[in-house]
Structure 1
Amino acid sequence: MSASLRERDRRWERLHAAMAEEGFDVLVVAGSDYRGHKGTLRYVADYNLAHRYGYCVVFAGEEPVMVLPQNLSGGRRPRSAWVSDYRYPHELGDGLVEVLKSRPRNGRIGIVGLGEIMKVREYLRLAAELPRAKLVDASAMFERVRAVKSAEELAGAEESAYITDRCFERLLEIARPGITERAVAAEMYATAALLGGEDPLFLTMYADDEPSGPCPTFGAPRDRILRAHDVFTFSYEVVGPAGYWVELSRMVTFAPPSGAVQRVSDAVAAGMAAAAASIGPGVATSDVQKNVIRAVEEQGVESSYWSGHGLGLDVLEEPWVGLDVVQNDSSAGAVPVLGAGMVLALHPMLWEAETSAMGYMADTHIVTEQGCRTLSEFPVQLYRLAAGGRK
Structure 2
Amino acid sequence: MLNNILDELKLNALVITDPYNMRHVSGFRGGEGALYISATQKVLITDSRYTEQAGKESDFTVIEENRAHNRQTILKECMEKETVSGDFHMGYEDQSMLCCEFDRMKAALPVQVWTPLGTKIDDLRQIKTEEELTYLARAEEIGDKAFEKLLKVVKPGMTELEVAAELEYLMKKEGAEDLSFNTIIASGLNSSMPHAIPGYKKLEVGDFVTCDFGCKYKGYCSDMTRTFVLGKASEKQKEIYNVVLKAQLAGLAAVKAGVSGSSVDKVSRDIIAEAGYGEYFGHGLGHSVGLFIHESPRLSPADDTILQAGMIETVEPGIYVPGFGGVRIEDMVVVTEDGCRNLAHSPKELIEVPIEE
Tell me which interval the TM-score lies in, with the shorter structure as reference length.
0.7 to 0.9
Contact 2:331-2:344 within 8 A present in 1 as well:
yes
What is residue 251 of structure 1 aligned with on the other side? 227
What is residue 156 of structure 1 aligned with on the other side? 135
**Separation in 1 of the partners of 2:309 and 2:194?**
34
What is residue 217 of structure 2 aligned with on the other side? 240
Query: Which letter does structure 1 place at the counterpart of 2:338?
Result: Q
- Secondary structure at the aligned position of 2:124 is classed as helix
- Please report the TM-score for the alignment, with normalisation by the length of structure 1: 0.81
What is residue 21 of structure 2 aligned with on the other side? 40
Alignment map for 1:166-185 (pairs within 5 Å): 166-185=145-164
- Please report the TM-score for the alignment, with normalisation by the length of structure 2: 0.88
Mapped pair 1:368 → 2:336 = yes
Alignment map for 1:208-223 (pairs within 5 Å): 216=193, 218-223=195-200
What is residue 319 of structure 2 aligned with on the other side? 350
Mapped pair 1:203 → 2:172 = no
Aligned pair in 2 of structure 1 residues 171, 45: CA closer, same or farther (>3 Å)?
Answer: same
Contact 2:92-2:116 within 8 A present in 1 as well:
yes
Aligned length: 348
Deviations 1:308-334, CA, capped at 9 Å, x for gaps? 11111111111011151xxxxxxx27x
Q: CA RMSD in A?
A: 2.6
Identity %: 23
Cα displacement (A) at 1:208: 5.6
Query: Which letter does structure 2 place at the counterpart of 1:47?
Result: F
Query: Which letter does structure 2 place at the counterpart of 1:232?
Result: V
Aligned pair in 2 of structure 1 residues 222, 95: CA closer, same or farther (>3 Å)?
Answer: farther
Alignment map for 1:1-391 (pairs within 5 Å): 14-31=1-18, 38-49=19-30, 53-60=32-39, 62=41, 64-73=42-51, 79-90=56-67, 91-105=70-84, 107-112=88-93, 114-116=94-96, 118-130=97-109, 132-200=111-179, 201=181, 202-206=183-187, 216=193, 218-241=195-218, 243-302=219-278, 303-324=281-302, 332=303, 336-353=305-322, 356-387=324-355
**Separation in 2 of the partners of 1:359 and 1:229?**
14
Contact 1:250-1:381 within 8 A present in 2 as well:
no
Aligned pair in 2 of structure 1 residues 93, 195: CA closer, same or farther (>3 Å)?
Answer: farther
What is residue 11 of structure 1 aligned with on the other side? none
**Separation in 2 of the partners of 1:182 and 1:266?**
27
Query: Which letter does structure 2 place at the counterpart of 1:238?
Result: C
Query: Which letter does structure 1 place at the counterpart of 2:262?
Result: S
Aligned pair in 2 of structure 1 residues 225, 97: CA closer, same or farther (>3 Å)?
Answer: farther
Contact 1:351-1:359 within 8 A present in 2 as well:
yes
Cα displacement (A) at 1:43: 0.5
Aligned pair in 2 of structure 1 residues 284, 195: CA closer, same or farther (>3 Å)?
Answer: same
Which one has a bigger Cα radius of gyration? 2
The gaps in structure 2 that reach 5 residues or longer are none
> Mean alpha-carbon deviation: is it higher for 144-153 or for 260-269?
260-269
**Separation in 1 of the partners of 2:75 and 2:244?**
48
**Separation in 1 of the partners of 2:228 and 2:55?**
39
